[in-house]
Amino acid sequence: MFLFMVGELSAISGALETLTGVNALAAVIVECVVTTIYTFFGGFRISFITDNFQGACVLILLIICAAGMGSYIEIDPSKVGPSGLLKSNKLGWQLVYILFVAIVTNDCFLSGFWLRTFASKTDKDLWIGTSLAAFVTFVITTLVGVPGFLAVWSGDLTVGDDEGYNAFFILLAKMPRWLVAFVIIFCVVLSTCTFDSLQSAMVSTISNDVFRNKLQLHWTRCIVILVMVPIVVLAVKVADNILQIYLIADLVSAAIIPALFLGLSDSWFWFLRGFDIMCGGLGALLGVFIFGTVYYGSAREGGKLLLIWNGIYSSEDWGAFGAFVIAPFGGILITLVAAGVRIAGAYCYSKATGKPFTALERVVMEEDEVEEVSTTYGSLEDHDKKIATESP
């Protein structure tokens, strides 16, 4: 979430500076202050409300920008064929796999998605909501990807251009100033709605996972306010490659989530432990480093691969593709190996000491653990009632 918050502020900073030419530090600080104030008092409920505004703003922004680009962008038909953008290629197929693994695993890593899952009144509501969201997101991301094609065909960019990620704003800069001003306002609204969700999710994660809900929520929010300082500094002064920020988080997620999800299955959870998942995730990242060292012939380059230093848009570089293959499958394999070693060690210890062998027994919560959970969270019935009554 820290990386995503840096990426979000870096994105709006780049957009403002590209469209206006002014330093975006003041705007970023104002955004952080505003979102911090209303999430401090409103929590995740206010985040749900702003997300509704976000959805409406996205649709309005798409319609107006599509109309503007259709009116003001001149496409040279002679550049469409030679550009090769409408033909399949090796890089395209690599990205189909890389982005699928990256997006799916990282979505499972974000607290915001789980909090929305837990806030659903019924499974049916969750299915309906996610299905609608998946369709809308697919349409939006497809349309958002179109400016890259248009920028090449209009002569503003070339294939493989380093500024390709700014294609939307490069095209927008050619449009009337009133349209640019409109887009700036909507971009700030979109960024604010996303950033407040990440803030609320970070508060929930710190409160629940770190302090087990034993620290007053106001103090937890104060901790998040302090975290805002390095986030702003990194976003404005350091983070110049937004995609790389997301890809670092994606690689970590790809290493951990597949093995972690084995524990959600009745067929697997009874013999897996947290130790195995930790070994699998860390081992997978170590495997990526070893792969990078061997592939590039340098330990330094192997370390850079952990940061996706060379990006993912080189058709001749298989490093990123290899990293996103090793991370999920290596994580699962090492998790199973770690479980096997742990179980074998427990069996040998049991034989040597005569103590009972319990490594393959299902984990059952002790009474004191149940009491602690009940005290912290309430009974399951109380929890369900609370969700049903408080969820928007």
| Element counts in the chain: helices (H) and strands (E) | 15, 0
What is the pLDDT at residue 121?
87
Cβ atoms 239, 245 nearer than 8 A:
yes
- Give CA separation, 347 vs 341, 342, 360, in Å: 10, 9, 10
Query: Which is nearest to 183 in space by CA: 75, 74, 68?
Result: 68
CA distance 333 to 276: 10
The pairs formed by 226-235 with CB atoms below 8 angstroms and a separation of 24 or more are 227/2, 227/202, 228/32, 228/36, 231/2, 231/5, 231/6, 231/9, 231/32, 232/9, 232/25, 232/28, 232/29, 232/32, 234/6, 234/10, 235/5, 235/6, 235/7, 235/8, 235/9, 235/10, 235/13, 235/28
pLDDT digits (tens, 9 = 90+) for 314-331: 778 899 999 999 999 999
Tell me, what's the pLDDT at 111?
A: 67
- What are the residue ranges spanned by the domains of the chain? 1-73+110-240, 241-361, 365-392
Q: Any idea what DSSP says for residue 164? A: G
pTM of the predicted model as reported, rounded to 2 decimal places: 0.72
Query: Any residues with CB less than 8 A from the CB of 227 and at least 6 apart, and which?
Result: 2, 202
CA distance 92 to 159: 13
pLDDT value of residue 334: 94
Contacts of 177 (CB under 8 A, 6+ apart): none
**Degrees to nearest 5, angle at CA 293 with 290 and 299:** 110
**Given this model, what pLDDT does residue 392 score?**
40
**Distances, alpha carbon 168 to alpha carbons 149, 183, 198, in Å:** 10, 11, 24
Tell me the pLDDT of the chain (392 aa) as tens digits.
888 888 889 888 888 887 888 888 888 999 999 998 888 887 778 877 887 877 787 788 778 888 888 888 888 888 888 888 888 888 888 989 998 999 889 888 776 677 778 878 898 998 998 898 888 888 888 877 888 888 899 888 888 777 777 788 788 877 888 888 888 888 888 888 888 888 888 888 898 888 888 888 888 888 998 999 999 988 887 666 677 778 888 999 999 999 888 877 777 767 788 889 899 999 999 999 999 999 999 999 999 999 888 888 777 889 999 999 999 999 999 999 999 999 999 889 888 888 888 877 776 655 555 455 445 444 444 444 444 444 44
Q: Are 104 and 250 in contact (CB under 8 A)?
A: no
CA angle, corner 253, sides to 14 and 113, nearest 5?
75
C-alpha atoms less than 13 angstroms from C-alpha of 242 in its C-beta half-sphere: 16
The region, left, alpha or beta by phi > 0 then psi within -120 to 50, assigned to residue 241 is: beta
